[in-house]
Amino acid sequence: MKNEHGGGEKNLLSFGNVLADMGKFDEAEKYYLRLLDQLPPDEPDIARCYHGLGNVTDEKGDYDSSLEWHEKSLKMRIKALKPDHPHLAPSYISIGCDHFNKSDYPKALESYNTALEIIKKAFGESHPDIAMCLNNIGCVYERQKNYSKALECHQQALDIRLDYLPKDHPEVAQSHHNMGNIYRCQGEYDLALQHYNESLEIKTKSLPPEHRDIALTLENIGNIYKDKKEYHRALEYYKKAEHIYCHS
């Protein structure tokens, strides 16, 4: 579920969103703060500004500030909306990401599951945003070393994505990559390689040749060969990953 655009001060708010999408996080932050100074206290766009500020501070690695902004956005939205309104889901997802980045996995899981139930109630069991929530929940379970639940979540996310998206979509690649991570943690190296290679094939087709996500998968394939003590093949993939990291 993407961050919303639009609202009362549409030009300024949208400009802040575009700056954030361009990676100009300091400039985006200034625009959101400027807009907060201009808006009346009951303006709905304040919640969007808070959410945008949470996103840019997250990108800057300031997870405490990000959590604070996202919680302020959620608090304001809860006052205006029903507790199961789908517009609350992005706030719960973002708060889950903040807790995940702070390594507070129980709170991350709680927030992601709240978002999941809201989206299920609003859109059904197989909506694309369900796949995103399941992906995030699977990543939490991986960090908690609950690999069976992690794999179940990532498989469900992959199944939904294959129903809604082209088979070479980057989100399909993400699911394969995450499943590769789980199989590696379980020592099932051949299955891990299978999913990493599927992820790599999709990323090579759908992303620029020097995209860092390609390097990440190359590096992880190298890790598998290192685990299998096939060091020459590991080095081959590490060199490919290093080349991209150095030029991206």
Question: Is residue 227 a contact partner of residue 196, using CB atoms and an 8 Å limit?
Answer: no
C-alpha 207/C-alpha 39 separation (Å) is 39
Residue 11 has pLDDT above 90, yes or no: no
Q: Is the pLDDT of residue 196 over 90?
A: yes
Q: Which of the four pLDDT bands, split at 50, 70 and 90, describes residue 2?
A: very low
**Are 96 and 115 in contact, with CB atoms under 8 Å apart?**
yes
How many angstroms from the chain centroid is the CA of residue 198?
A: 20
> So what's the architecture of 125-248 in CATH?
Alpha Horseshoe (1.25)
Structural domain boundaries of the chain?
1-115, 125-248
- Return the closest-CA partner of residue 221 out of 240, 246, 204, 203: 240
Q: Quick one: CATH architecture of 1-115?
A: Alpha Horseshoe (1.25)
Please write the tens of the pLDDT for every residue from 33-89. 999 999 888 888 899 999 999 999 999 999 999 999 999 999 999 999 999 999 999
Give the model's pLDDT for residue 8: 42
pLDDT band at 13 (very low <50, low <70, confident <90, very high): confident
What mean pLDDT is predicted for residues 18-42?
92
CB 13 within 8 A of CB 7: yes
204-213: pLDDT as tens digits: 999 999 999 9
Tokens of 143: 């960090």
| DSSP codes of every residue in 33-75 | HHHHHHS-TT-THHHHHHHHHHHHHHHTT-HHHHHHHHHHHHH
Interval 150-176: pLDDT, tens: 999 999 999 999 999 999 999 999 999
Which CA distances in Å does 92 have to 18, 75, 209? 22, 11, 34
Task: Tell me the residue type at 159.
Answer: D
Number of neighbouring beta carbons within 10 Å of residue 58: 20
Structure tokens at 147: 């690999």
* pLDDT at 199 > cutoff 90: yes
Instruction: Annotate 80-120 with three-state secondary structure.
Output: HCCCCCHHHHHHHHHHHHHHHHCCCHHHHHHHHHHHHHHHH
Higher pLDDT, 15 or 189: 189
Instruction: Output the pLDDT for position 41.
Output: 83
pLDDT over threshold 60, residue 106: yes
Q: How far apart are CA 184 and CA 182, in angstroms?
A: 5
Average pLDDT, rounded, for the chain: 94
Q: What is the mean pLDDT of residues 112-137?
A: 97
In the predicted model, is pLDDT for residue 7 greater than 60? no
**Matching CATH topology for 1-115 and 125-248?**
yes
Decide if pLDDT at 6 tops 70.
no
CA distance linking residue 28 with residue 212, whole number of Å: 23
pTM of the model: 0.90
